[in-house]
Each structure stands twice: as C-alpha cells, then as structure tokens.
Amino acid sequence: MLEKVEEFNMERVIEEFERVTKDAGRIQKETLKKILEDNASAEYLLNLGLNGRTDPESFKAFVPLVTHKDLEPYINRILDGDTSSVLTAKPITAMSLSSGTTQGKQKFVPWNEELFDTTLQIYHTSFAFRNREFPMNNGKALGFVYSSKQFKTEGGVLAGTATTNVFRSPGFRTAMKAIHSPFCSPEEVIFGPDFHQSLYCHLLCGLIFREEVQMVSSTFAHSIVSAFRTFEQVWEELCVDIKEGVLNSKVTVPSVRTAMSKLLKPDPELANLIHNKCMGLSNWYGLIPELFPNVKYVFGIMTGSMEPYLKKLRHYAGELPLLTSDYGSSEGWIATNVKPRVPPELATYTVLPQIGYFEFIPLRELAETNGDGSFLCMDPKPVGLTDVKVGEEYEIVITNPAGLYRYRLGDVVKVMGFHNSSPEVKFVRRSNLLLNINIDKNTEEDLQIAVEAASQLLAEEKLEVIDYTSHIDLSKEPGHYVIFWEISGEASEEVLGGCCNCMDKAFVDAGYTSSRKVNCIAALELRLVRRGTFQKILEHYVELGSAANQFKTPRYVGLTNTRVLQILNENVVKNYLSTAFN
C-alpha cells in the first residue's frame, strides 16, 4: 500500500488543489471554455444560437437556466437510440439513474467518460487530504459497497445508478488501486445481484480480515448504520460460519458462494473471540472498534439527509472519528472535504473549479422575486463561483461535460468561507418545499429539527427513531401533516402522545403556527410503523434499479409515490393526533 501511495503522489495532488483554488475565477472560465468547445456541435447549443461562443457572458445570455423537466425531451431521444449530437458532440453511451427518493420518481442523467474523470479528481483530492491526516498502512477497507445491475434501454443505451456506472467503468479498478486500500470483500460480493446476501458476506469478510481492517465505509452513513443493525441480528450466524468454515445456506448466488469459499476456513478461535466480544458489549456501543481493533475511522457522506443517522453511527463507532466524504449528485460532483478532522455537523466542502462550471442563485433573490418561498423564480440572476458571499444561501446551478448546461440542481448551500478563492459550502437542504398546505413553508431541515426535538422524549425511555418520513393528508378539510416513525422498541402511550405534540410545536414557521391556531391546518398526526418498514422501502427502490448504498430515505412521500405510501400505510400499528394547539 505504501508503494502505491508513493506512486499516487499525494503532495502533488494537494499542490494542484491549492493551485486551482487560488485562481478559481480563471479556472472556471477555462473549464467552461473547454466544455463548450468540446460540445460546440451539439444540437442543443446550436439551437440556442451559441454558435461556438465560449465566454461566460455569451453563455449566460444565450443558454437559459433549466430543470430536468426541460431536458427530458432531449434525454428521451438519447434513451430511444438517437446517436446524433443531441446534448454533446460525442454520443452519450450511458445514463445514470437517480435513486428517485427525492422527487418520488427516478430520472435519467447523461453520463460519459469525462464525468468519470471528474470523479477520479474528487477521489484523488479527498484521499490525499484524508490520508495525510489518517495514513493507511497495508490495511483493508470494509466497504459496504453494492453495485446494482446495468441494463440497456429500448434504444440500446447502457443505464445504471451513478455509483454503478463508476464502479463498472473500465478504469475504476486500476485507478482505485493507487489510492485505496483493497476491500475485504471480493468483487463477486460487491457485484452480487442480491443486496441482503451481499451485506451478509460483507460482514463476514470484515470479520475474517478483522485485524487488517483500517477503514469502514460506504457511500452514505445510512448504509453503515443499516449494516450494523443487521449485524445485531445475524452475528451468531456469522460466528457459526466462521467456526465451521461453511457459508450460511441463505447465501444462494453461486458466484458469491464460490468466491466466499476461497476465503472461509474453519476458525473456532476467531468465532469464539467474536462471540465473547458481542456478548460483552453493552447495547452494542463501540461495536466497530471492538470488532476491528485497527480501524482508524468511519467514512461516508454524513451531511444533509444523512445527519439523522449520525447519533446511531457514533454509538457504533465509539471514539472513532467520523469522516464525511465528498459532495455531489447523480448529475455530477461539486466539492470535496479537505478538512477531514472536522465533525460532520460542522463540515464544509470546497468547490473544485476544474470539474464543472458553477453558478449560484441567491436564495434571497428567489424569495423576493417569487414571494411565496417556492423557489421557482422566473428569471433569477445567478452569480459566479468567486462572487458568492459568506453567510448567504444559494441554489446551485451546474454545467458539466456530459450535456447539462445551466442545470438547476435543486440543492441549497450556505457559503461558510473560502479556501483561497474557491468557496467552502455547507449543504443546507433541497430547495423545494417539503411540507406546505396553506401559507406554511417547512423544509427537510425543519422536519429534521422537529423529529430530533421529539426524539429526546424517546431517549428518556432508552428508545430511538430508526427512520422517518412525512406526508400531507388532504383527504379531509383542513389538511394536516403526517409523520411516519419507526422506533427501536415499545414506548408508552403517554410518551408517544408527547412526541406527537412536541413535533407539532417544533414547526416554528409563522405560517404553520398561525394556520394551526385558526384551524386552517388540522392537528399533526404521528403514525407509528412496525419494525422493518423502512427496510421494505429500501428493497422497493433496489428492485427499481437503485443501488443499496445510494439509497436515501425519502423525507416526503406524495400521492404520486403510491407504492411507498402503500408500504407505509400497510405497516401502521398506532397513530396519535396532536393536542398541542387545543
């Protein structure tokens, strides 16, 4: 590993990062120029009258701000097999499929090798800063990594999730060998067709190589928490496998069984050691370092919609550092974490000016122009990367090498400072309103605050919220908020009623509180669902083609998301109505 790291040359990567961030404005112009030169013959740009212009002023004058809906006619042509220069000069040979958890439906996003190159740039930069602080020495990574299947559209275009497209890129394995400890799990497990079987084998591989594991990781914090929740249920089965050297019969995929048979040998001593450690743990606190004594940190995306899982992740991690990784989306990467020692709640991401062209719509302008907080301003005026102001919130607009031009990503970030001349941003929320009935305006962040406030009452009974989501019920007048909770055990009626009241009062938006007081919004409803309900939602999205490690629990479920709403309602065991405003 040391030899590979020297070949990688971390210091050179850090020097390059410093160079581009010191001159971010010029680098942005160069990046835009290259994207537009490479795609000058694209039908989309020609139809807009850009005619080969590559300067930012012309670009903004001729090319409008767009959402995914605006580009769908072009994307659909590509999906149907149109190989002409629709959005890019070179044909788009693959599509990334979003998880669909944010908007309630999956969407196709163009993918090409230039996007793969930007992925490597992010990985290189992130690794260089991380490894400088926490050097890895000939160890392995326990990575909860799952690659969903790629498939071909009717027009013959290869499609898969963004992570799958990265994992299956020809250059991925070679590139990762230079900057990444090898995974404990063989490729057959990572690319296995059954998520549950792969997860079981990931855990087993981690235990087999427990002395060598120096990092525990996944794309999202949710996947790591989910993995160790599963470990609590299957640890005795894992011990039996290790003791006898025979893989559990519930793992049925032939390629996975064959790969695991090469690793699994009878080891009663190791099985007994793990058994004793599990029996000796109090409520599974510090499980990760107990199982893997040489692990240095836990790594994955831990900000934004992943923050609700941090408390449980810290419980499993004990005193181990939690390192949040990079900031991106299915549409492309944006920024990287170059301060790995900062706790996830305080983490910022430095925008890399060479991986895309970025604009920022001031949120204050959106609110002022639109007047209703829905962030759908008809003619917002974005500012450039180096023109943002510290303390202000912005919606990100991205132009990437794969055919997205002035694309409204829908993410709201707050500028916390600058690294040289490139902004350091903190993810705040998705820009679209989550809960809105009357004049109320509550976001994902507001929902998270309300759930966290109410969960403090559960904590007094040593219980926790495993996961949650929300819904607007308009079946009766007036409509009301519905919050679905899955919790870790049995709570008293009194406590759950108190939790319901607490959430109702925790939405402090003036439009909500005034509407509640005059009964324009009815009492908030807490619906308790049985254990495993959110796992069923995950399985639903995996069946649709999403990768398990790319899954994000939808924080709002609308009427259009019929199957998820059905899963939730079929599993309701109790419900409570708030009396907070009575």
Q: How far apart are CA 337 and CA 129, in angstroms?
A: 8
Strand order through the sheet with 213-220: 140-143, 213-220, 297-301, 322-324
Q: How far apart are CA 146 and CA 144, in angstroms?
A: 7
Structure letter (DSSP) for residue 185:
S
- Sequence length of the chain is 582
* pTM of the full structure: 0.83
Cβ atoms of 457 and 506 closer than 8 Å: no
- CA dihedral sign, ordered 423, 427, 432, 433: negative
Summarize pLDDT for 281-330 with one digit per residue, the tens.
Answer: 888 999 999 999 999 999 999 988 888 899 999 999 999 999 999 998 88
Mean pLDDT (whole number) for 213-242:
94
Summarize pLDDT for 429-446 with one digit per residue, the tens.
Answer: 877 667 888 888 888 888
Which element (helix H / strand E) includes 188? helix 187-190
Strand partners, 360: 383, 396
Summarize pLDDT for 30-63 with one digit per residue, the tens.
Answer: 999 999 999 999 999 999 999 899 999 999 999 9
Closest CA relative to residue 86, chosen from 157, 162, 170: 157
Q: How many C-beta neighbours within 10 Å does residue 482 have?
A: 21
* 3 — pLDDT class (breaks 50, 70, 90): very low
Mean pLDDT (whole number) for 336-350:
94
Strand partners, 429: 412
Mean pLDDT (whole number) for 333-353:
94
Summarize pLDDT for 150-209 with one digit per residue, the tens.
Answer: 778 888 888 777 777 777 666 666 666 655 668 899 989 988 888 899 999 999 999 999
Asked if residue 7 has pLDDT above 80, the reply is: no
CA 134 vs CA 131, 143, 317, 322: distances in Å = 5, 17, 16, 12
Strand order through the sheet with 383-384: 327-329, 332-336, 349-351, 422-430, 407-419, 393-399, 357-362, 383-384
At residue 349, what are phi and psi to the nearest 5 degrees?
-120, 130
- The residue type at 299: F
Mean pLDDT (whole number) for 519-545:
89
Q: How many C-beta neighbours within 10 Å does residue 457 have?
A: 20
- The residue type at 470: S
Closest CA relative to residue 486, chosen from 465, 503, 469: 465
pLDDT for res 253: 93
pLDDT for res 369: 37
* 506 — pLDDT class (breaks 50, 70, 90): very high
pLDDT for res 377: 54
Cβ atoms of 576 and 497 closer than 8 Å: yes
**Which tokens in the block code for residue 266?**
């009878």
Asked if residue 374 has pLDDT above 60, the reply is: no
Structure letter (DSSP) for residue 380:
-
Q: Lowest-confidence range among 5-14, 23-32, 71-80?
A: 5-14
DSSP string for 104-156: SS--EEEE-HHHHHHHHHHHHHHHHHHHHHS---S-EEEE----PPPEE-TTS
Summarize pLDDT for 469-479 with one digit per residue, the tens.
Answer: 999 998 888 88
Query: C-alpha angle with apex 425: 391 to 15, nearest 5 degrees?
Result: 125
Look at phi and psi of residue 283 and say left if phi exceeds 0, alpha if psi is from -120 to 50, else beta: left
Name which residue leads in pLDDT, 377 or 82: 82
* 372 — pLDDT class (breaks 50, 70, 90): very low
- Buried/exposed 397-414: b ≥16 CB within 10 Å, e otherwise: bbbbbbbbbbbbbbbbbb
Cβ atoms of 552 and 99 closer than 8 Å: yes
Q: Find where tokens 């790629």 sit.
A: 150
DSSP string for 441-491: -B-HHHHHHHHHHHHHHHHTTT--EEEEEEEEE-SSSSPEEEEEEEESS--
Q: How far apart are CA 353 and CA 422, in angstroms?
A: 7
CA 253 vs CA 111, 187, 201, 256: distances in Å = 30, 13, 11, 5
